[in-house]
Structure 1
Amino acid sequence: MARALLIVLDSVGIGGAEDAAAYGDAGSDTVGHIAEACAEGRGDQPGLRQGPLHLPFMSASGLGLACEASTGRMPPNLAPREAVRGAWGYGVETSNGKDTPSGHWEIAGVPVDFDWGYFPNTVPAFPEKLTNALIERGHLPGILGNKHASGTAIIEEFAVEHLRTGKPICYTSVDSVLQIAAHEEFFGLQRLYDLCRIGRELCDEYKIGRVIARPFQGTPETGFKRTGNRKDFATPPPAATILDTLTEAGHAVVTVGKIGDIFAHRSTGTEVKPNGNDACLSAAIDAMRTLPEGGFVFANLVDFDSEFGHRRDIPGYAAALEAFDRRVPEIEAVLKEGDLVIITADHGNDPSWHGTDHTREHVPILCFGPGVKPGSIGRRESFADIGASVLAHLGVVNPGKGRSWI
């Protein structure tokens, strides 16, 4: 039997989808705009990176060609310099929304065909019924924030008052989400998680996709910084995903990063959750070293989105892409005959775009491994084709959505 590794580069989109205008994202293009910015010097940052975007291994796997197929434009410096060594194409999202659960669930064979609930961009943002219940059940003196906000900005705004009053900081965005920030030591990490579990239960009534714990540390003198102990409390997928199918068929499953959270820890096998892109990629590579025949590793690299996309940090995003690209040979080095690697994304988060939110984009699909036939797999009409192809590669019948290209 074969093995498979699926890596989601969180938010690495390659051009606005056909329905991007409905989301306010017509013209967005995460990879394309980063490449253009780097070619023009806007991606330079002393001590971090400089010059054109340099992604030789992903370019050789068809990234530039996928971008060109998606948008009609080849991004600067991403054209392959030799024959492409893998299969490449791009995926079109059919799910409602442009958030993490929608993208990942569709990749795993469950497109979101219902409307998520969202909190209005008003102050207060949350229904009084919800906040009153959260305060009562969480034994809180009250809450702070109660509005749409950037996660880093709202911590700076309310951290001192949080320490003075003991009130957690609650905020949201255009995504279907309730985020709760609190000081790891002063408020307590476990207490924050317990509060988010209460919030998860309360948010079900409003069809909110995720409640996210956002712990931070620091003092007024040193400043405040979010830690790596973020935890997402997601509503479970409404139908069986490829994780359920593989688990039921007796295949080994390893999930890395926030995959366990996204799928509500259902059929997520051995969960490994280190902090940061490098640590998550190392964990995925290590898992492949010992993965039995027929096994599946599903990894998410979140820093592209959380650290650089939302913060509209073009140099940081470019540096993160280049750092990942440098490690692609490490992935190849652990592959055995019959192994398949798929690199893709779940949505866009164009750091050159207005606002701080995700962008509705096509995603790249790059496939390589011993025995993978090079060439175009074309436009895939649903992210679910990715999950269907994983199942086909592993010899498991697909009971759900998607069409395999294998």
Structure 2
Amino acid sequence: MRAIIAVLDSFGIGSLPDADRFGDTGANTYGRIVEGRAASPAGPLQIPNLLSLGLGRAAHLADGSVAELTNGPATGLYGAARELSKGKDTPSGHWEMMGLPVEEDWGYFPRTVPTFPAELTEAVIREGKLPGILGDCHASGTEIIEELGEEHIRTGKPICYTSADSVYQIAAHETHFGLERLWELCHTVRKLVDPYRVGRVIARPFVGEKRGEFQRTGNRHDYATPPYRDTLLDINKAQGKEVIGIGKIPDLFAHRGVTQEIAAHGNEAVFDATIAHTKSAPEGSIIFANFVDFDTLFGHRRNLMGYAAALEAFDKRIPELKTALREDDLVIFTADHGCDPTWQGSDHTREHIPVIAFGPKIGTGSVGIRTTFADIGQSIAKHLGLAPLSVGTSFL
């Protein structure tokens, strides 16, 4: 008896009732992808396995304007979940999923230039032994690297920027600045931003020598503030069971509650690792994977066609995962927030997330609209025979 959670990072299915607070009313990552592909020369989105499990029905629950796009009777449990946490960040989505909503607002930086407080910037330069910083604004990561990459190489000043999320991001060249030096700088800045309640410091290494050649690499690291109390991961680990974090999962939980950390760069590598560990993990294990490409390569970059192709590639591998399952396994496909590729700007969008659950002994049908992402963790706790979490209601 094991639980496998696949987070399709940013795959929202319709704006939440409070989306107006975030300027996201009407955002719908899945819905806009379906519409965009249907109107394109490529034709309709081809995701038969996800539709069979109930994704189309879940999307219709979240946003009645989205067609159900059913593919016969649902072969899994399906529904949508709303976020209790007050933001639309990656850590808050993952933490709430594992039974720990973020009850207070993260700290955010204003949309001013400069965006960072002067005393913080002075401390970053002093403690990081830097000649200065570049950026100091809200920005798209790919765009600001393109704009400032050459100056960064010339001056040795890292590129520091933020977004609508609670983040302090640092981009630096892997060789001219140094990858290890970037990671060490992020460790330093992590401590400096704690008084500002910043959720994550993110290392954004890149390569290339001039404008038009710069590319971010897979050596990104997220330095998250630690969860403020135990999550489902901690609880399972305390029972002597395995918690296998694939991709950026260990970073998001500040490496707490994880017994095995599996580095994997890109959706295909994450799926390879997920299937491999589904085949080998012992009973009682939690296998927790984040498919980051949906967010970083397509959502933030507002690349609808790329997002659609990534969904199709994910869908094609679902039969492999099913073949690797044992009789008592539970699989949950979900997300952590939205990132509508047609929305203004380049930030996350406040949306429902899909809840798709299946396994050889898991039933079928609607689980409705859940009032918290924590229902996912509560259901996993019940499945694994763990004590109930303090938040959430099981749908099993």
Normalising by structure 1, we get a TM-score of 0.96
**Is 1:234 aligned with 2:224?**
yes
Matches within 5 A, 1:382-393: 382-393=372-383
Counterpart of 2:289 (choices 284, 296, 299) is 299
Counterpart of 2:43 (choices 17, 28, 51) is 51
Residues 367 and 395 in structure 2, CA contact (< 8 A), matched pair in contact too: yes
Three-state SS of the structure 2 residue aligned to 1:223 is: coil
**Is 1:263 aligned with 2:261?**
no
Cα deviation, 1:209-252, whole Å, max 9, x if unaligned, reads 00000000011176110000000000011111000110111111
Cα distance in structure 1, aligned partners of 2:319 and 2:82: 28
Residues 331 and 358 in structure 2, CA contact (< 8 A), matched pair in contact too: yes
Cα distance in structure 2, aligned partners of 1:64 and 1:181: 38
Task: Percent identity, please.
Answer: 54
**Is 1:83 aligned with 2:82?**
no
Which residue matches 1:196? 186
Three-state SS of the structure 2 residue aligned to 1:109 is: coil
Q: Give the deviation of 1:373 after TM superposition.
A: 0.8
Counterpart of 1:216 (choices 206, 209, 214) is 206
Matches within 5 A, 1:116-265: 116-220=106-210, 223-265=213-255
Residues 63 and 88 in structure 1, CA contact (< 8 A), matched pair in contact too: yes
Three-state SS of the structure 1 residue aligned to 2:184 is: helix
Q: Give the deviation of 1:128 after TM superposition.
A: 1.0
Residues 65 and 74 in structure 1, CA contact (< 8 A), matched pair in contact too: no
Which residue matches 2:18? 19
Query: After the TM superposition, which parts of structure 1 deviate over 6 Å for at least 4 consecutive aligned residues?
Result: none
Three-state SS of the structure 2 residue aligned to 1:170 is: strand
Which residue matches 1:308? 298
Amino acid at match of 1:328: I
Counterpart of 2:368 (choices 360, 368, 378) is 378
Counterpart of 1:343 (choices 333, 336, 341) is 333
Residues 85 and 92 in structure 2, CA contact (< 8 A), matched pair in contact too: yes
Three-state SS of the structure 1 residue aligned to 2:188 is: helix
Residues 379 and 394 in structure 2, CA contact (< 8 A), matched pair in contact too: yes
Distance 1:72 1:192, change over 3 A: same
Residues 105 and 112 in structure 1, CA contact (< 8 A), matched pair in contact too: yes
Cα distance in structure 2, aligned partners of 1:143 and 1:154: 13
Q: Which moved more, 1:216-225 or 1:274-283?
A: 216-225
Amino acid at match of 1:81: N
Three-state SS of the structure 2 residue aligned to 1:88 is: strand
Which residue matches 1:9? 8
Unaligned runs of 5+ in 1: 45-49
Q: Which moved more, 1:310-319 or 1:220-229?
A: 220-229
Cα distance in structure 1, aligned partners of 2:237 and 2:32: 39
Q: Give the deviation of 1:401 after TM superposition.
A: 1.1
Amino acid at match of 2:61: A
Cα distance in structure 2, aligned partners of 1:263 and 1:328: 26
Q: Give the deviation of 1:137 after TM superposition.
A: 1.0
Three-state SS of the structure 2 residue aligned to 1:104 is: helix
Which residue matches 1:63? 55
Residues 172 and 206 in structure 2, CA contact (< 8 A), matched pair in contact too: yes
Unaligned runs of 5+ in 2: none
Q: Give the deviation of 1:405 after TM superposition.
A: 1.1
Root-mean-square deviation over aligned CA pairs: 1.0
Cα distance in structure 2, aligned partners of 1:287 and 1:134: 40
